[in-house]
Amino acid sequence: MPETMTYAAALRAAMRLLLSQDERVFLAGEDIGVYGGAFGVTDGLVAEFGEERVRDTPISEEAIVGLAVGAAITGMRPIVEMQFSDFVANAMDPLVNQAAKLHFMYGGNVTVPMIVRAPGGGGTGAAAQHSQSLEAWFAHVPGLKVVLPATPQDVHDLLLAAYLDPNPVVFLEHKLLYKTEGPVELRSRAEDTPARIGEAKVLREGTDLTIAAYSIMTPRALEAADGLASAGIEAEVIDLRTVQPLDIDTVRASVKKTGRLLVTHEAPQPVGVGAEVVAGVCESDALDYLLAPVARVCGQPVPMPYARELERAVIPQVEDVEAAAKELVNA
């Protein structure tokens, strides 16, 4: 039976399962041991599995990801944590030029089974260097998979799916989701996970428009859909869950049913994942079903402000999604 858990606890349970199931799995990152990580996600794991399996590292993201690459290609299954996703900028060489490419460069004879976990997004007043949404960076790199779970169940199941993948996965967790709660059915083996990287999920059926979202914008889209329903508008909400690979077929099928598409993400709009979703629809016969131009509700293209009201103005809110959806339906 499912039990109610926080997003952070469901994620921790997935790591506990992997550490228990596979002796090749180890965790590494800054202050993930006794301190439990910057957001407490690894709390208690060092007491259970010891310092060899839950490793505190020096303050060097390049060293942490380089460690993961070397361990992965020699048979280990590292899961490394960045304190903030912004800090992956310091590790782009081992991630982009090594981890993403080695399987291809060695003709498939090498695999790089590693997971880079990183909390991202704004809303915490952490300002410009600790609040970015960088998924489009990673999605643009051939060889990297990019996962952004929105619910406690999905963060549990998708981490297990990432473990099963033989090559690198960038696993982005929104900071505001860590304390959210939901029903979680814990898996007894990684292989029992029903989640698959590259599969979207329809969370709410609707007939008037499609809202495609991921990460923190998924619960906001669902909340907006509730508001729209009270106005007589039935929105279909799709959680993309992963942005590389992107399940565009699910979005296309929904658009053929609803005739309208709104895409929302917290990351800045220019050259974002939303543009790829729109292109994927317009490059198919789903284009013929559109009754109105597509719409995007995305972050503003500015560094994240510190001031609360300015930060809120930069990040899409529930009311922004709802207003855009009403405009789209009434166009």
Question: What average pLDDT does this structure show over 144-173?
Answer: 98
Question: What average pLDDT does this structure show over 33-54?
Answer: 97
Answer whether residue 235 shows pLDDT above 90.
yes
DSSP 195-217: --TT--EEEE--SSEEEEE-TTH
Looking at residue 10, its pLDDT comes to 98
Cα(294)–Cα(269) distance, integer angstroms: 14
Looking at residue 280, its pLDDT comes to 98
* Active site (annotated) includes residue 130: yes
**The one catalytic residue among 30, 61, 266, 322:** 61
Q: Give which of 29, 39, 37, 31 is closest to 65, Cα–Cα.
A: 29
Burial label, 211 (beta-carbon count in 10 A; 0-12, 13-18, 19+): buried
DSSP 93: I
Q: What domains sit in the chain, N to C, each tagged with a CATH number?
A: 3-192 (3.40.50.970), 201-329 (3.40.50.920)
SS3 284: coil
If you search the block for the tokens 């597509």, which residue do you land on?
A: 294
Looking at residue 6, its pLDDT comes to 98
- CA 328-150-55 angle, 5° bins: 150
Question: What average pLDDT does this structure show over 286-314?
Answer: 97
Output the furthest CA–CA distance in the chain (Å, rounded).
Answer: 60
First to last CA, the chain: 45
**pLDDT per residue as tens digits for the range 205-234:** 999 999 999 999 999 999 999 999 999 999
DSSP 304: P
State the pLDDT confidence band at 203, using cuts at 50, 70 and 90. Answer: very high
* Active site (annotated) includes residue 61: yes
**The one catalytic residue among 30, 81, 103, 130:** 130
Looking at residue 1, its pLDDT comes to 82
SS3 140: coil
Strands (E), the chain: 3-6, 25-29, 54-56, 77-81, 115-120, 145-147, 169-174, 181-184, 201-204, 209-213, 235-239, 242-244, 261-268, 295-299
| CA 212 distance to own-chain centroid | 14
Tokens matching residue 94: 């081992």
**pLDDT per residue as tens digits for the range 96-130:** 999 999 999 999 999 999 999 999 999 999 999 99
Question: What average pLDDT does this structure show over 304-331?
Answer: 96
Looking at residue 29, its pLDDT comes to 98
Answer whether residue 183 shows pLDDT above 90.
yes
